[in-house]
Structure 1
Amino acid sequence: MTGPVSGSRRAPLRTVDVARASGYSLQQVRDLERLGVIPPAARSGNGHRCYTPVHVHALRAYRGLAAAVGPVEARRMLAELRTETITTAAAAINAVHVRLARERDEALRAQRAVRAIRAEADVPGAGRESDAMTITELAGALGVRPSTLRFWEQEGLVTPERVTSLRARRYGPPAIGAARIVVALRGAGYGIPAVREIMDSLHRFGGPEEAQRILRRRLDRIAARAVALLRAGADLAAVITSVQEPASSPPGPDRPAG
Structure 2
Amino acid sequence: MSTLRPTDLAREHGLSTQAVRNYERHGFIPPAERTPSGYRIYTEVHAAALRAYLSLVPAYGYAAAGQIMTALHRDDLDEALTLIDHGHSRLLRDRDTLDAVRAAVQHLTTESETAPAPAPATGTRTVGELAHQLGVTPATLRNWEGAGILTPARDCATGYRVFGADDIRDAELAHLLRRGGYPLEHIATVVQQIRTAGGTDALAASLDAWQHKLTARGRAMLHAATHLSAYLTHLDTENQADSL
TM-score (norm 1): 0.66
- Partner of 2:171 in structure 1? 175
Secondary structure of the residue aligned to 2:236 is coil
- Aligned partners of 1:86 and 1:241 also within 8 Å: no
Secondary structure of the residue aligned to 1:51 is strand
Any gaps of 5 or more consecutive residues in structure 2? 120-129, 155-161
- From 217, 222, 231, the equivalent of 1:225 is 217
Q: What root-mean-square deviation, in Å, do the aligned CA atoms of Structure 1 and Structure 2 show? A: 3.9
Q: Structure 1's 19 and 107: CA in aligned 2 closer, same or farther, altered over 3 A?
A: same
Shift of 1:68: 2.2
Identify the range of structure 1 (236-245 vs 175-184) with the bigger mean alpha-carbon deviation: 175-184
- Partner of 1:70 in structure 2? 61
- Aligned partners of 1:83 and 1:243 also within 8 Å: no
Shift of 1:186: 4.1
Shift of 1:242: 4.0
User: Which structure's relative contact order is higher, taking Cα pairs within 8 Å and 6+ residues apart?
Assistant: 1
Identify the range of structure 1 (224-233 vs 123-132) with the bigger mean alpha-carbon deviation: 123-132
Instruction: Figure out how many residues of one structure are paired with residues of the other and give that number.
Output: 218
Identity of aligned residues (%): 27
Superposed CA offset, 1:65-106 (max 9, x none): 211222122212211123345455344324322321221221
Shift of 1:53: 1.4
Superposed CA offset, 1:149-208 (max 9, x none): 68723379xx8579xxxxxxxx977732167599546447x9xxxx38x51642xxxx21
Which whole-Å CA distance do the structure 2 matches of 1:150 and 1:82 have between them?
41
Which whole-Å CA distance do the structure 1 matches of 2:148 and 2:188 have between them?
15
Shift of 1:137: 7.8
Which whole-Å CA distance do the structure 2 matches of 1:53 and 1:230 have between them?
22
Which whole-Å CA distance do the structure 2 matches of 1:137 and 1:123 have between them?
30
TM-score (norm 2): 0.70
Which of the pair is proportionally richer in helix? Answer: 2
1:41 equivalent in alignment to 2:32: yes
Identify the range of structure 1 (19-28 vs 62-71) with the bigger mean alpha-carbon deviation: 19-28
Counting only pairs closer than 5 Å after superposition, residues 105-124 of structure 1 correspond to structure 2 as: 105-124=96-115
Q: Structure 1's 101 and 93: CA in aligned 2 closer, same or farther, altered over 3 A?
A: same
Superposed CA offset, 1:34-75 (max 9, x none): 232212211122211111212222222222221122212221
Any gaps of 5 or more consecutive residues in structure 1? 1-9, 163-170, 251-258
Q: Structure 1's 41 and 98: CA in aligned 2 closer, same or farther, altered over 3 A?
A: same
Q: Structure 1's 88 and 201: CA in aligned 2 closer, same or farther, altered over 3 A?
A: closer
